[in-house]
Structure formats: C-alpha cells, structure tokens
Structure 1
C-alpha cells in the first residue's frame, strides 16, 4: 500500500530547496564576466559564450550617461571554447559599465569598473614648416623648398602675363 502524504510534504520542501538553489546560483550566473584594468586599458574575460556562425559575442564599454549596450564602445569577443576576451585601450578616468552579450543573444554578465589612470598622450605635435605647404589627401602635407617656390611663382607669373598679352591682342581692332 502506497502512502502519498510523505510525497506531498516533500514536494513543497523540494520546490523550496530548488528555489533556494536558483536564488543562490543567480548572482554567480550574473557575474559570468571578469573585468580588470591596467593603466588606461580595460579588459573583460568570460567563458560563458558559445560560438555561433564564427562569432563569440560582443562586449560594450558604457561611460557615464550611456544606458544601453549600443551606446557603448563595442568590441567583438575573441578566444576559444575555454574562454573569450575583449579589451579597450585609451580609456579615460571614470566609472564604466562593461556588458557582454553572447552571439546567441544571452547576456554573459554586467560589471562596473573604475579607471583611475588617464591615457598616455599620443604623438607629440610637430613644428609647422617654415616654408610653403601644399595640402594632400587625408591630411598629409608636403614641405617645398625655396627654389621650388620661386620657380613655381615664376611659372605662374609668366602664365598670367601671357594670358593678359593674348587677351589684349584679341581685343585690338583688325584692319584687312
């Protein structure tokens, strides 16, 4: 003869135990990323993502005032099945939020990080050239010497004088 009462009593107890286990596992699952800083570089690592169509996922670095994943500086995750990572360089001082979204759409985790070191200045400005400069494509420039500038000026002056002479000759009345 079977007695169902112990099962009824153990059912709610089992449900409570399962709920407790999920509650305890929740924060661990939400903290599926590890964020660190080295100087002005922020890096994140995780092992929570699986590869989908050759991609692991994307990490986003959100600054103050940025509230959604798409507003941050996004970097694709790289790595292998044992772990994926991403990094941002030249990050200014402040408090940031790192969010990692896997390629399957699940969020691997969200974590705040404080950067206290300012990025190192990039290239120092160069002195402006003392002679003529001709602009180029993409902001490049060429510095021309004195002889080149004098020769170019002479050619332009000769062209202007020849044009004036030709136009003056054309306006002169012709007698046949």
Structure 2
C-alpha cells in the first residue's frame, strides 16, 4: 500500500516535471523571428512566421534613426510562400535602420536593427565591395543565454525531450537507490 502511494505520487511528479520544459517552450516556438541582410544599398528581410490572410502575408517597414512608428518607415508588402516570406528595399543610404515585420493577422513577427555601410571607392582592378553587418537589437541580454538566436520548434522540442528524459532518469535513479533490491 505504502509503495503504491509513493509510486503514484512520484509518477505524477515526474510527469509534471517532464511536461514543464515543453510548456515553457511553447511561446518561444510561436514566433520564429526574422532574418535581415544587406548587400550594398539593398536591405532585405526574410521570415517564416506569417500566414496568408485575404491574399496578404503582411508588411515590413524600414525605420531610419529617430523613427519609432511602423507607419513612419518605408513600407514593403511581404511576398512568398508558406515556407518563407520576404521584402526588400533598394537605394538605401548608409546608416543604422530597424526592420519591423507585421503579419496580416496584426502580430509582429519581429524586429531587427541593421547597419548599411557606404560602398568603398571602386578600384579598377577589383570588383566593388561593400560591408554590411547587422547591429545587435538591444545589446547583450545578460543571463538569458541563447536569446540572441531564434531556435526553431524542432530544436526546442529536442531540448525539451532531453530535459524531460533527464528528469525521468534522475527520478528512476533516486528511486532505485533508496531500495536497492527493486528495479
């Protein structure tokens, strides 16, 4: 009787502990984020977070320094497929910009800062080269580990399964250790 009660309680505890990482990972997998890149004076954004509603995927906005509202920037409609949607702006002058993507359902897919550099003076013996590096969105996120990179649902699911398996294995080991003659 006593062993049965202990096993049912520990089983419920282990099930709850195994489900905890999956429950915590849920909101993170809903928004897959955006990827911004630059090439010379062209800025482009790619996302897979939007769904098509009434023939529209949503809009992306390129905000210059000092612009804070989505409507203030240069807007471009997203185009693409269910796998990925994209937008691009050309003839962008050097500076720091923020790209914001709003899906057709009104949700924000993400925002990211980017720096557009001036092109170097052309050298007749070499092809023109430009340098562009994405700027960090909010600086260092201290104590938040991997928040700089958006992980996909598969990676988060595998991590949750590993953590859940570790919790179950630890519970099994502790139970076995307390009663060495039992499995």
- Calculate the TM-score normalised by the size of structure 1: 0.56
- 1:21 CA displacement: 3.4
Matched, 1:116 2:120: no
Structure with the larger RCO, 1 or 2 (CA within 8 Å, 6+ apart): 2
Match of 2:17 in 1: 13
Contact map agreement 1:31 1:110 (CA 8 A) in 2: no
Q: 2:32 touches 2:48 (CA, 8 Å); kept in 1?
A: no
- Does structure 1 conserve the Cα–Cα contact (< 8 Å) formed by 2:57 and 2:103? yes
Aligned-partner Cα distance in 2 for 1:96–1:107 = 17
How far apart, in 2, do the equivalents of 1:62 and 1:107 lie? 15
Q: CA deviation at 1:16?
A: 3.7
The farther-off stretch of 28-37 and 41-50 is: 28-37
Once residues 82 and 30 of structure 1 are traced to their aligned partners in structure 2, the CA distance between those partners, rounded to angstroms, is 14
| Cα offset, 1:32, TM superposition | 2.0
Please give the residue correspondences for 1:27-38 in structure 2 after superposition, counting only pairs within 5 Å. 32-38=33-39
Q: In structure 2, what is the Cα distance between the partners aligned to 1:65 and 1:41?
A: 20
Q: Of the two, which has the highest radius of gyration?
A: 1
Q: C-alpha deviations, 1:127-151, integer Å up to 9, x for none?
A: xxxxxxxxxxxxxxxxxxxxxxxxx
Q: Is 1:103 the counterpart of 2:104 in the alignment? A: yes
Length, aligned pairs only: 115
Other-structure match for 1:45:
46
- SS for the counterpart of 1:62 is strand
Would the aligned equivalents of 2:31 and 2:49 in 1 still touch at CA under 8 Å?
no
Structure 1 residue 99 displacement after superposition: 0.8
Task: For 1:21 and 1:73, locate their aligned partners in 2 and report how far apart those are by CA, in whole Å.
Answer: 34
- Equivalent position of 2:73 in the other structure: 72
Report the Cα offset of residue 112 of structure 1.
1.1
Question: Which residue number in structure 2 is paired with residue 92 of structure 1?
Answer: 93
> In the alignment, is the contact (CA less than 8 A) between 1:43 and 1:86 conserved in 2?
yes
